[in-house]
């Protein structure tokens, strides 16, 4: 076994690998960019080496710098995690040439599976079922459209060197093919340096089922059963679970055999995942093989009682697989949800900022939290905006679902917008709770998912009280915490303190007046009768009795945002400042602003054009994905402030726009 390894990654996967290494007594070396100088994985590792500026191309993707760090620190092996260099055959070769073990498959296997078109041909030879499509080298747009026409719509355009949903588009008719192809190729070129695509039949109501495989250097290959990853948006996984609901023993055996055959066909060693599209009629087709550990590997670990990172280390050190196929069995059910800094109500735009308050579920035997951040850390525009993975296990799916609902309710995040509320609604939809799974589930449940998680009536009173007893800049000096001048209870000399607060949540707005009275507050919403709330505010919590119900609610203030943390989850209210909003509205009038830092890919309408609300105006590339920004209202596009290829900052004016 190794004495020291270098982890060529960041975030939660780097922290995950460090945890296993610490359990096995293996020293770890972290690498970090300028943006990650104080990151959690750097704090956890035994050693850390700086490797360059924030952009991944200048740091985490620089193979020679990472190899030099391994040599200088005496690391015997490199764990690539997932993403970055994990599926880079040239990097695996460079490790071998340097006498450093690459904790992953041979470079030949990465090459064989890294090009999706070549991999399909290889799988056909191995007898693995394939989706009908074109996987050849001719990349002429008109030729590819002809292939799509022959296959029959809908089709899926997919980057041959891709992954993570990048460079993928569903196309429903011939007229939309050329534009979709161009967008796929731009995204693929940016993310992978390779714009080659393939075109496949888009299976309607498909399920995305993948098989975890593992091989060693002694010729042994096993599978550790399946994961259902059907719940996706923009071809990126949102929820994963194991085992797949409704999976029969016969189908599991057939898919497991096909996955093992695929791995054997390329001489596979280490952890890998063979991904299949499964149709409602029971057929399944090879989609791709990911020659690395998957983000969702913890659900497999939960149901099989294994540590797949420990298996990776053992196999890379030349040891045989810890278990044979007949020693592996499924126990219970596991679910994973990916908690992201993103705004589900704005097309899942990434959200950047400092995590001013962060509380995640307490880990137990049934609940696991994999994270690469802590309170005070920053979600930057340079990398994936994941905050944490929440993984739960129980004896069956229904029990695991209840645990996931509670885990999501326990998440408290202030400083960035998250998808926690969206995930709670998603887990609670009829389609998911009843296991009616396919890759269109999110689109099918749009109405239920788009509805904001509006608070009940009593929460308006609590939000108003919370806004009244906190200020955006309130800070208690710990050295004088008992001083009456530090109290935020609204007490005044010679008068009763009262505040009138315009509050908003979702589409609802109310004016709420809060008056301090002995032992609590009197709250009046609009012209409704006043409600008496007994209780106190201490240590960031309201402990109150409202309408004969006793509640303990966490409170956080972030500027004009007031957050309540209840047993039902996180609620956010906005306290309106008419003066500040008027100034902001004047500053923003007649413009379209960048929602995050990024690069302009394309401007879509000519200056002088009249457009309707929702018309796409600008394509912005950020966090390796393309985001289309639309007209905020009917009006006229007078001009653009930035051209294709230019970098823009968060909040930059992109379009001079006049509303009708």
Give me the active site residues, please.
Answer: 292
Q: Are strands 27-33 and 47-52 parallel, antiparallel or unpaired?
A: parallel
**137 close to 116: Cβ distance less than 8 angstroms:** no
Q: State the angle between helix axes of 297-304 and 308-316 in degrees (0 to 180), rounded to the nearest 10.
A: 100
CA triple 344-207-114, angle to 5 deg: 90
- Give the integer Cα–Cα distance in Å for 221 and 571: 48
Nearest 10 degrees: CA dihedral of 246, 250, 255, 258?
180
Q: State the angle between helix axes of 116-125 and 249-265 in degrees (0 to 180), rounded to the nearest 10.
A: 110
Tell the burial category of 119 from Cβ atoms under 10 Å away from its Cβ (0-12, 13-18, 19+). Answer: buried
Quick one: which of 272, 191, 194, 197 has its CA closest to 236? 191
- Give the integer Cα–Cα distance in Å for 352 and 384: 10
Contacts (Cβ under 8 Å, ≥6 apart) of 443:
none
Which two three-digit tokens encode residue 516? 């301090």
- Give the integer Cα–Cα distance in Å for 150 and 496: 77
- Write the CA distances from 408 to 359, 381, 594, integer angstroms: 11, 24, 30
- Write the CA distances from 396 to 302, 379, 655, integer angstroms: 12, 35, 52
Strand order in the sheet with 625-630: 625-630, 616-622, 598-603, 647-648
| Cβ neighbours, 10 Å, residue 152 | 10
- Give the integer Cα–Cα distance in Å for 613 and 633: 4
How far is C-alpha 379 from the chain's CA centre?
Answer: 12
Contacts (Cβ under 8 Å, ≥6 apart) of 221:
213, 214, 215, 260, 263, 264, 268
Query: Which DSSP category does 286 fall into?
Result: E
Helix, strand, coil shares of the chain, percent, nearest 5, are 30, 35, 35
Site of tokens 């020293």: 27
| Cβ neighbours, 10 Å, residue 527 | 6
If phi > 0 it is left, if psi is from -120 to 50 it is alpha, else beta; for residue 240 that is: beta
Per the DSSP assignment, residues forming a β-bridge with 213 are: 223, 272
- Number of helices (H) and strands (E) in the chain: give both, helices first: 18, 39
Contacts (Cβ under 8 Å, ≥6 apart) of 273:
210, 211, 212, 213, 289, 290, 292, 294
**245 close to 228: Cβ distance less than 8 angstroms:** yes
Contacts (Cβ under 8 Å, ≥6 apart) of 402:
394
């Amino acid at each position: 076994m190794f004495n020291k390894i270098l982890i060529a990654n960041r975030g939660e996967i780097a922290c995950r690998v460090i945890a296993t290494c610490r359990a096995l007594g293996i020293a770890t070396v972290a690498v970090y960019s300028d943006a990650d100088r104080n990151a959690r994985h750097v704090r956890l590792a035994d050693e850390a080496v700086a490797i360059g500026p924030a952009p991944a191309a200048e740091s985490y993707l620089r193979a020679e710098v990472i190899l030099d760090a391994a040599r200088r620190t005496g690391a015997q092996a490199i764990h690539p995690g997932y993403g970055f260099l994990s599926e880079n055959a040239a990097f695996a070769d460079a490790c071998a040439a340097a006498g450093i073990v690459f904790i992953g498959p041979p470079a030949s296997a990465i090459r064989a599976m890294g090009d999706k078109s070549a991999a399909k041909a290889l799988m056909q030879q191995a007898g693995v079922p394939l989706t009908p499509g074109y996987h050849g080298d001719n990349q002429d747009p008109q030729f590819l459209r002809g292939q799509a026409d022959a296959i029959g719509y809908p089709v899926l355009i997919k980057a041959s060197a891709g992954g993570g949903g990048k460079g993928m588009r569903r196309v429903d008719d011939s007229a939309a093919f050329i534009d979709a192809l161009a967008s796929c190729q731009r995204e693929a070129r940016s993310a992978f340096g390779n714009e080659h695509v393939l075109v496949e039949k888009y299976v309607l109501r498909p399920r995305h089922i993948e098989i975890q495989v593992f091989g060693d250097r002694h010729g042994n290959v096993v599978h550790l059963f399946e994961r259902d990853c059907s719940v996706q948006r923009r071809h990126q996984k949102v929820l994963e679970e194991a085992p797949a609901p409704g999976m029969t023993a016969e189908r599991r055996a057939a898919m497991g055999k096909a996955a093992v055959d695929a791995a054997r066909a390329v001489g596979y060693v280490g952890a890998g995942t063979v991904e299949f599209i499964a149709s409602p009629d029971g057929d399944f087709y090879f989609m791709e093989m990911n020659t690395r550990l998957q983000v969702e590997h913890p659900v497999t670990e939960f149901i099989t009682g294994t540590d797949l990172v420990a298996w990776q280390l053992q196999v890379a050190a030349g040891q045989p697989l810890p278990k044979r196929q007949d020693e592996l069995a499924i126990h219970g059910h596991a679910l994973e949800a990916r908690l992201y800094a993103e705004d589900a109500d704005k097309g899942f735009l990434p959200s950047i900022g400092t995590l001013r308050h962060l509380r995640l579920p307490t880990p137990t035997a049934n609940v696991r939290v994999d994270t690469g951040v802590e309170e005070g850390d920053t979600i930057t525009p340079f990398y994936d905006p994941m905050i944490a993975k929440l993984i739960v296990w129980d004896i069956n799916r229904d029990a695991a679902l209840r645990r996931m609902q509670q885990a999501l309710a326990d998440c408290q995040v202030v400083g960035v917008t998250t998808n926690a509320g969206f995930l709670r609604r998603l887990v609670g939809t009829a389609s998911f709770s009843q296991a009616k799974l396919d890759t269109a589930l999110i689109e099918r449940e749009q109405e239920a998912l788009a509805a904001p998680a509006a608070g009940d009536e009593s929460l308006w009173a609590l939000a108003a009280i919370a806004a009244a007893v906190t200020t955006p800049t309130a800070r208690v000096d710990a050295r004088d915490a008992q001083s009456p001048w530090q109290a935020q209870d609204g007490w005044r000399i010679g008068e009763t303190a009262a505040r009138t607060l315009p509050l908003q949540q979702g589409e609802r707005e109310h004016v709420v007046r809060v008056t301090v009275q002995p032992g609590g507050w009197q709250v009046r919403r609009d012209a409704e009768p006043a409600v008496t709330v007994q209780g106190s505010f201490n240590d960031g919590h309201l402990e109150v009795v409202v309408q004969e119900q006793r509640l303990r609610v966490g409170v956080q203030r972030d500027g004009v945002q007031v957050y309540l943390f209840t047993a039902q989850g996180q609620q956010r209210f906005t306290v309106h400042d008419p003066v500040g909003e008027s100034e902001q509205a004047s500053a923003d009038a007649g413009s379209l602003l960048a929602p995050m830092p990024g690069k302009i890919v394309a401007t879509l309408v000519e200056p002088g054009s009249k457009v309707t609300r929702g018309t796409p105006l600008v394509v912005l590339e950020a966090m390796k994905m393309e985001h289309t920004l639309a007209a905020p209202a009917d009006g006229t596009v007078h001009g653009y402030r930035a051209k294709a290829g230019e970098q823009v900052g968060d909040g930059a004016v992109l379009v001079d726009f006049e509303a009708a």
